[in-house]
Amino acid sequence: MNLHFDPGSLILLNAILALMMFGISLQLRVSDFVRVVRAPLAPAAGLAAQFLLLPAATCLVTWALKLDPDIALGMILIAACPGGNFSNIMTFIARGSVAVSVSMTAVSSLAAIVLTPLNFAFYGWLNPYTRSYLTEISLDSGSLLLLVLLVLGLPLLLGMLAGKRWPRLAARSEMPLRLFSLLVLLAFAGIAFAMNFSVFVEKIHTFVWLVIGHNLLAFALGFGMALVSRLSAADRRAVTMEVGIQNSGLGLVILFTFFPDAGGMLLIAGFWGVWHLIAGLTLALLWARSAPVDQPIRTGELA
């Protein structure tokens, strides 16, 4: 499956993702990381669903369905990415715990520097239908690690430093930066879609239902893990959003850099970037209609 992309656009895509990460980090503080240490249950539950359950479940599903290697690897790559850039906003709209959401974003962005390349390589190798394909494309784990560090780790550090140095400017510019980056990313995806419209229409039946189902699985794992961990209603909403909103932009950057000819993977990541925003906003608006209320546990119910 051959898609048409301008190789020069890779620099723009890297810049977009770095700018989005920089915008998110403007309001991050060291206290957000300290909060995870002091109250680790909710972030830990979310991160377990994010980096353990979702990649493992995705590998099992793609294996069981015997999906084409490029489609399966696209899903595994998305599952290996950290939470998306707009999960904090979605959590706010959903009346969830923004503190938990921000803490998870901070920690997952740092953890992704190691865990995203590790999970992608491991589960891509574990699935026998993708193992040979992964070997053929000769994944360079060191280069992948460096790429994630440059587009996630460095902008996060610079954003935190800028936010601390110029707090008022950071507060005013955070949302415009996020929105601008999102609009440019959507424009980028729209141009790529227009250039490959015929391929999209021809293959739409092979990936749309997979992306929708995969995204539903991510939301379900986040909510289920939060429920099993007995988190508060507000924390459950935050964890659900963090796991359901994946950083598909990072997935696209990785694909353009290392797998520019993997059309199936690009279709999965591209449609994920649109669909998870639709699904996340829909869920957020539904939750926004009612305040999170914790049901009291009756005596003997947990016996």
**Residue 2 pLDDT > 60, yes or no?**
no
In terms of residue numbers, what domain contains 92? 9-287
Which pLDDT value is given to residue 303? Answer: 38
Q: What is the pTM of this model?
A: 0.80
The answer to whether residue 107 sits within a structural domain is yes
Q: In degrees rounded to 5, what are phi and psi of residue 263?
A: -60, -40
The answer to whether residue 84 sits within a structural domain is yes
CATH number at residue 146: 1.20.1530.20
The answer to whether residue 29 sits within a structural domain is yes
C-alpha–C-alpha distance, residues 180 and 186, integer Å: 10
The answer to whether residue 240 sits within a structural domain is yes
- Mean pLDDT over residues 53-74, rounded? 93
**301: pLDDT confidence band, cut at 50, 70 and 90?**
very low
Which pLDDT value is given to residue 138? Answer: 59
The answer to whether residue 65 sits within a structural domain is yes
The answer to whether residue 138 sits within a structural domain is yes
Tokens matching residue 296 = 């009291």
Which pLDDT value is given to residue 287? Answer: 93
**Residue 144 pLDDT > 80, yes or no?**
no
Q: In degrees rounded to 5, what are phi and psi of residue 203?
A: -105, 5
- Mean pLDDT over residues 251-277, rounded? 79
Contacts by 10-13 with C-beta closer than 8 Å and gap 24+?
10/253, 10/256, 10/257, 12/188, 13/185, 13/188, 13/249, 13/252, 13/253, 13/256
The answer to whether residue 300 sits within a structural domain is no
- Cα within 13 Å of Cα(120), Cβ side: 32
- Mean pLDDT over residues 3-8, rounded? 52
pLDDT tens profile 188-209: 666 666 666 666 666 667 788 9
SS3 193: helix
Tally of domains within the chain: 1
- Mean pLDDT over residues 125-129, rounded? 92
Which pLDDT value is given to residue 146? Answer: 79
The answer to whether residue 4 sits within a structural domain is no
